[in-house]
Amino acid sequence: MATQVGFVGLGNMGVPIASRLVDAGYALTVYDLRQDAMAALTARGARAAASPADVAAAADTVLLSLPGPAVVREVVLGANGVMASATVRTVIDLSTTGARTSREIAAALGARGIVAVDSPVSGGVAGAARGTLALMVACPRATFAGIEPMLAHIGRVFFVGERPGLGQTMKLANNLLSATALAATSEAVVFGIRSGLDPSTMIDVLNAGSGRNSATEDKFPQAILPRTFDTGFTTGLMYKDLKLYLDEAAAADVPMSVARAVGELWRRASEEIGADRDFTTIVQLVERAAGVEVKG
């Protein structure tokens, strides 16, 4: 068990994940640009730090939960970054950054004798709060054995390989399928409503049939039919993940006709509905064109 644990990035996902570690008995040092976010954790017994370097100086293991590649690079490699500390030995990145960024970070940390753990997560804010996330971990086997008990407090832990970036590849594949399911289900349900079907009945039928997917089981019943649009994950972040997927697929020389079409829908949703809106609002892109509303 890591004796001292650091956590950088207390956003919608970071706060519930860090809270679970505090509840599990870990001594946590935390940092976020927002003082109110740190206050939510210090109220639970965590110590607030002044910078990522300060976090790393107090911990042998540091977890990151950040919005994208540029922020991860700054937090790890910057002048006041995690790598500036001589104390930290393991950095676990829960963010979605793409395989190339993961390999870059791993090489820089490795040159300082620090082990990088590529461990993006899936399952949303609700999964983070319940401790039911899927963690896709890529790191040396010996490191995995040491961190798995801690990560098990966050969710179900999958070892996907030793090479840096394999966790990111798994996450981007997952998010392509999640984004496709939500976009396609939005179109299908709007089509049904325009043709005279009841949306709640449609979701019940789809969940009993072969059209069942993560959108019909979760997003539509919980956020779209009640019009709350409150999953905690934004359209802009989903579009960011799809752009990462398309970049990585192009580099791997993999055909991606479906992914390109899905990416275009998310680009439009990000621009027309709003990058800062909940990602379930993509249904509004289709609603506006058809002149109907998906409401339970």
Catalogue all structural domains in the chain, each as residue range(s) with its CATH number.
5-162 (3.40.50.720), 169-290 (1.10.1040.10)
In percent, the amount of the chain with pLDDT more than 70 equals 99
Average of per-residue pLDDT across 242-262: 95
- The answer, yes or no, to whether residue 2 has pLDDT greater than 60, is no
Model pLDDT, residue 4: 84
Q: Which residue in 171, 219, 240, 295 is the catalytic one? A: 171
Strands 121-122 and 133-138 come out as antiparallel
- The answer, yes or no, to whether residue 113 has pLDDT greater than 90, is yes
Q: Is 219 a catalytic residue?
A: no
Model pLDDT, residue 85: 86
Return the closest-CA partner of residue 169 out of 223, 245, 107, 253. 245
* Pair of tokens at residue 207: 């969940």
Strands 47-48 and 61-64 come out as unpaired
Average of per-residue pLDDT across 164-175: 97
Query: What percent of the chain is helix, strand and coil (3-state, nearest 5)?
Result: 55, 15, 30
Model pLDDT, residue 139: 98
Phi, psi angles (nearest 5°) of residue 231: -75, -20
Asked whether 56 and 75 are in contact (CB, 8 A), the reply is no
Model pLDDT, residue 31: 97
Q: What is the pLDDT of residues 85-108, one digit of tens each?
A: 889 999 999 999 999 999 999 999
- Say what the pTM is: 0.93
How far is residue 57's CA from residue 6's CA, in Å, rounded to a whole number? 9
Q: What is the pLDDT of residues 55-92, one digit of tens each?
A: 999 999 999 999 999 999 999 999 999 998 889 999 99
- The answer, yes or no, to whether residue 215 has pLDDT greater than 70, is yes
Asked whether 116 and 91 are in contact (CB, 8 A), the reply is yes
- The answer, yes or no, to whether residue 1 has pLDDT greater than 60, is no
Q: What is the dihedral of CA 18, 20, 24, 27, to 10 degrees?
A: 10
